[in-house]
Every structure is written in C-alpha cells, then in structure tokens.
Amino acid sequence: MRPDGAEHLLVRDGNMVRLNKFLADCGVGSRRECDRLIADGAVQVNGKRVQPGTLVEDSDKVTVNGKRIALQRKYYIMLHKPKGYVTTVKDDLGRKTVLDLIDIPARIYPVGRLDYDTEGLLLLTNDGDLANRLTHPRNEINKTYVARISGMLTEAERITMEKGVTIDGVKTAPARVRILQQDKHHTRCEVTIHEGRNHQVKKMFEAVGKEVEFLKRVAVGDLRLGGLARGGYRYLSDDEVEYLKNL
C-alpha cells in the first residue's frame, strides 16, 4: 500500500495495481463484485481493512474473508455444452453443472448463460474483466444460434423477428434470422443476436407463434464451435483470447 495515502489517485503506479483489479485478476470475481467485497470489509491488505481504490503490489498480503489471495494463471476455455447441464457454478436442485465437465486446477466460471436444454458454445474463464466485457450489453457481442422450430417460418415472421419483437414488454434489438432448411413440419434457422436476455431466442420465436424444439449456440463473435465434440472442451489459443479481448 502507498504510505502517503494517495491510493485513490492512481490506477497504476509502477508495480502497484488497484485492489479491485488485483482481486479480479486473482479470480475472486468481477471488479464490481470485488468493490462490493472491499466496501463490505471482507478484504484486508497486510492485516488491515482498506478503502476502495487502494493500490497493492505483489509483496502485499491480501486476504478475502481471512483467506490469502494470490495471482493466478488465467484460463480461457471453450466447452461444447450438452443438454442437461446448468450454466451455474452450483445448482440448488442438485442438477449437473457445466463445471462437472471440466477438470482444471482453478476456479473458473461460465461467461453468460445457456438454458438447461440448450447446447453449444460456452466460454469459461477466471478472467473477470474479459467475462464482463463479453456479457456487457453495451459491447453488443454477436451470439449465433441454430434453432429448429416446429412448423414453417414465413418470410413475414422472419422479417418481424429481424426488426424486433416485444418480449417481456421490451422490444428486441435488430437481429439476423436466416432460414437454413425447411419442410412442412420443421424449419432450421440461424439466428444472430447481440443482446443476452433470458431465453431470448426461444421468446423471439414464441412472439411469432413458433416453438423451439432444439437450440444450439454455434458462435460468439467470429469464434465458432467447429467440430468440438459434445461435452468436450479445449483451451483457447492466444490469438483467440486476443480476438475476444478486442471484440
């Protein structure tokens, strides 16, 4: 900590870094969550409670609720989520979580959500800054899904969905809806949205009277699921991580 008490004035000072960033880098949570922990008095630096904006350096002893926190390697993982898994870290109903599919020596968490019965591309990381970037509505990150719906989607319905439909009283932002294949009984569509509202794709179809039978996320930005096996995961390359950081 700075002995002159000027922690709040600087974001970085040589090897010093703001406490909320240090905690986020250590995988404690997003910067905002870390600010809350600091404000709640859960964080101590060298045995003392501190103010938000405090600067720390590597040699400082930082604890959260009495547990020592240290810088951690960053993990960036792409999982092909199967149906039947929740995208939370723990489930009150005892259902399997996506973390049951991953074996790495760090506490990572899912970036955004996929429904229990949705499959496809799910990113997981312990990089709170990147997770926030990718999920913040302001950044309008495209997410692309393949959906199979019952019945035929008409051109008028497709255009309505693209222009925006009202779900839960709020109009959706413009989207892209392409019909990939259809017959009398089913339509397979590709849907790209940049919002992340709850059950958004299903509700967009519901708004034009269609029911989603199958839903899979195939891309986040230009990052595609590709041939990754269902239930499998892989580490992102440095280039892929860099791409996501600049999205």
Residues 48-107 that bind ligand URA (CB under 6 A): none
- If binding is defined by CB under 6 A, does position 200 make contact with ligand URA? yes
- How many residues belong to the chain? 247
List the one residue out of 139, 135, 143 whose CA is nearest residue 110. 135
Q: Which lies closer to ligand URA via its Cβ, residue 18 or residue 202?
A: 202
- Of the residues 28, 123, 215, 225, which one makes contact with ligand URA according to CB under 6 A: 215
- Catalytic residue, chosen from 13, 60, 115, 129, is 115
- If binding is defined by CB under 6 A, does position 144 make contact with ligand URA? no
Give the separation between CA 168 and CA 186, rounded to whole angstroms.
26
Pair of tokens at residue 44 = 């101590």
Residue 195 backbone phi and psi in degrees, to 5: -90, 170
HSE at residue 62, side-chain half, CA atoms within 13 A, is 27
Residue 115 is among the residues annotated as catalytic for this protein: yes
- If binding is defined by CB under 6 A, does position 199 make contact with ligand URA? yes
- If binding is defined by CB under 6 A, does position 202 make contact with ligand URA? yes
Q: Which lies closer to ligand URA via its Cβ, residue 43 or residue 131?
A: 131
Provide the minimum distance between the beta carbon of 213 and ligand URA in the complex, in angstroms, as a whole number. 12
Maximal C-alpha separation, the chain: 74
Q: Are strands 119-125 and 212-220 parallel, antiparallel or unpaired?
A: parallel
Residues 104-123 that bind ligand URA (CB under 6 A): 114-115, 118
Provide the minimum distance between the beta carbon of 101 and ligand URA in the complex, in angstroms, as a whole number. 16
Give the separation between CA 212 and CA 201, rounded to whole angstroms.
8
Q: Catalytic positions, please?
A: 115
Contact positions vs ligand URA (CB under 6 A): 114-115, 118, 199-202, 215
